[in-house]
Amino acid sequence: MELNTIESQDVGTATERQPAAASAAKKVFVKTYGCQMNVYDSQRMTDALAADGYAPTDVIDEADLVLLNTCHIREKAAEKVYSELGRIRELKAERAGQGRDMLIGVAGCVAQAEGVEIIRRAPAVDLVIGPQTYHRLPDVLARARGGEKIVETDYAVEDKFEHLPQPRRAEVARRGVTAFLTVQEGCDKFCTFCVVPYTRGSEVSRPVAQIVAEAERLAEGGVREVTLLGQNVNAWHGVGENGEEWGLGRLLFRLAEIPGLARLRYTTSHPRDMDDELISAHRDLPALMPYLHLPVQSGSDRILKAMNRRHTARDYLALIDRIRAARADIAMSGDFIVGFPGETEADFEATLHLVREVGYGSAFTFKYSPRPGTPGAEMEGHLPEAVKDERLQRLQALINEQQRHFITSLVGRTISTLIEKPGRRPGQKVGRSPWLQPVIVDEKAGEIGDIIDVRITGTGPNSLFAETA
């Protein structure tokens, strides 16, 4: 499943069952909003909390701690947190009536961006913790249990990854055969619409040895497919085991050597950081899946400039030509913003034109949302909601058509599939295609974790039906 900036998603801990033996333990309910990096962070926070005696639960009513891991990317995403906090406040009051405490914590990008303002607007919140300080969570919680209201949004000087516990092997196994692994955090690009440089701070790459150790641990727990994450994942760099400076391409080759790891992906990339080595990896590294999320945001050079993307539409198309020359069957994915300040009908048509030129396998479309503190919010020429709506619909229609075209082109082909989990219907299992679509197969087709060849026999709205090849 592609989870690009989904506004609210009960993933990670909220959907996990708790170990039977932990009934006396304190319980934490985590709800995750936003991008894959938040999904990853929620897991790491759950691991830190497990070491502190909190078992995960997906039943909010029984939680001693409710943790919202939030997203600030668009206004709608940020506001959702406050309506959720309203509901949780009532639950907390109910619980207090029964003589039981419930702590409420807000983590993630809203926590970082709004800090103490959250407690002002929602006084039932006990702790606010920014993404750079998750390793301090047990300490923060101990203070919160003592009745203190806590806002922890400093940029920690110590490396949080160094201090966060790794999941136990059983926990890795329980999370499934695909996993996220954050290798890079933060962003120095300052696109004029975007809050990420303010909520996640400047670019930091995790060291090679740390990443390799974590990937090995995942593989030992049965993970077959790892997606490397970063706000600008292809800006990742580090000193490799040979003492040389490595880029993401080199790192991918290294990770592909780990026994058991059969599939690798990375997201999200910036067009300016696609170097030759990374492009070559798409040609020479079979484990690297032929799917690339490479957001362009707009097809108009004028708008790209106003967005501070620092490349043109032509640069982007030339880059895709190079990527396709390396790997012909690669499916491109992207993000688009419609209705950026000053976007004319001609600018928007340039975006439609670019989409037609590229032919996306999938893509995500967003209406521009002015964000406090970003240069875009201060620009002239904000567009009426109705114009943004209309453009969003037109772009969405074109992308849906391309997505449909891509999916139907797979019918009759034999493709590799990683069997991921039991299907919703009895007798079925669900796998994952190289291009991220769910593949529905007969449950006897293979065991979870197997990678098998299947023949595609038909399609659902965004899924594939297959029989053993």
List residues binding ligand SF4 (CB under 6 A). Answer: 187, 189-191, 194, 196-197, 231-232, 270
3-state secondary structure (DSSP) of residue 200: coil
Q: How far apart are CA 450 and CA 417, in angstroms?
A: 8
Which range in 18-26, 35-43, 206-214, 279-287 contacts ligand F3S by CB under 6 A? 35-43
**Which residue type occupies 454?**
V
Q: Which residues pair with 76 in a beta bridge?
A: none
3-state secondary structure (DSSP) of residue 436: coil
Q: How far apart are CA 417 and CA 244, in angstroms?
A: 35
Residue 274 or 464 having the CB closest to ligand SAH:
274
Q: Single out the residue of 72, 206, 217, 429 in contact with ligand F3S (rule: CB under 6 A).
A: 72
Pick from ligand F3S, ligand SAH, ligand SF4, none: which does 74 bind, CB < 5 to 8 A by kind?
A: ligand SAH
Q: Single out the residue of 28, 65, 73, 307 in contact with ligand F3S (rule: CB under 6 A).
A: 73
DSSP, residue by residue, 263-326: EEEEE---GGG--HHHHHHHHH-TTB-SEEE---B-S-HHHHHHTT--S-HHHHHHHHHHHHHH
Closest CA to 104 of 142, 138, 65: 65
**Binding of ligand F3S at residue 293 (CB under 6 A)?**
no
**Binding of ligand SAH at residue 69 (CB under 6 A)?**
no
Q: How far apart are CA 267 and CA 234, in angstroms?
A: 8
Residue 112 or 178 having the CB closest to ligand SF4:
112
Q: Single out the residue of 69, 232, 351, 402 in contact with ligand SAH (rule: CB under 6 A).
A: 232
Q: How far apart are CA 267 and CA 313, in angstroms?
A: 21
Which range in 24-32, 162-170, 283-291, 368-376 contacts ligand SAH by CB under 6 A? 368-376
Residue 232 or 362 having the CB closest to ligand SF4:
232
In a 10 Å sphere around its CB, with 0-12 CB exposed, 13-18 middle and 19+ buried, how is residue 381 labelled?
A: exposed
- CB within 8 Å of 37: residues ≥ 6 apart: 180, 182, 185, 200, 229, 230, 231
Q: How far apart are CA 437 and CA 417, in angstroms?
A: 10
**Binding of ligand F3S at residue 452 (CB under 6 A)?**
no
Pick from ligand F3S, ligand SF4, ligand SAH, none: which does 197 bind, CB < 5 to 8 A by kind?
A: ligand SF4
**Binding of ligand SAH at residue 369 (CB under 6 A)?**
yes
Q: Single out the residue of 68, 73, 111, 358 in contact with ligand SAH (rule: CB under 6 A).
A: 73
Q: Bin 92: left if φ > 0, else alpha if -120 < ψ < 50, else beta.
A: alpha
Which range in 173-181, 194-202, 212-220, 447-455 contacts ligand F3S by CB under 6 A? 194-202
**Binding of ligand F3S at residue 37 (CB under 6 A)?**
yes
Q: Is 13 in contact with 43 (CB distance < 8 Å)?
A: yes
Pick from ligand SAH, ligand SF4, ligand F3S, none: which does 108 bind, CB < 5 to 8 A by kind?
A: ligand F3S
Where does this chain bind ligand SAH (CB under 6 A)? 5, 73-74, 193-194, 196, 231-232, 268, 270, 295, 297, 335, 337, 366, 368-369, 371
Where does this chain bind ligand F3S (CB under 6 A)? 5, 34-35, 37-38, 71-73, 108-109, 195-196, 199-200, 231
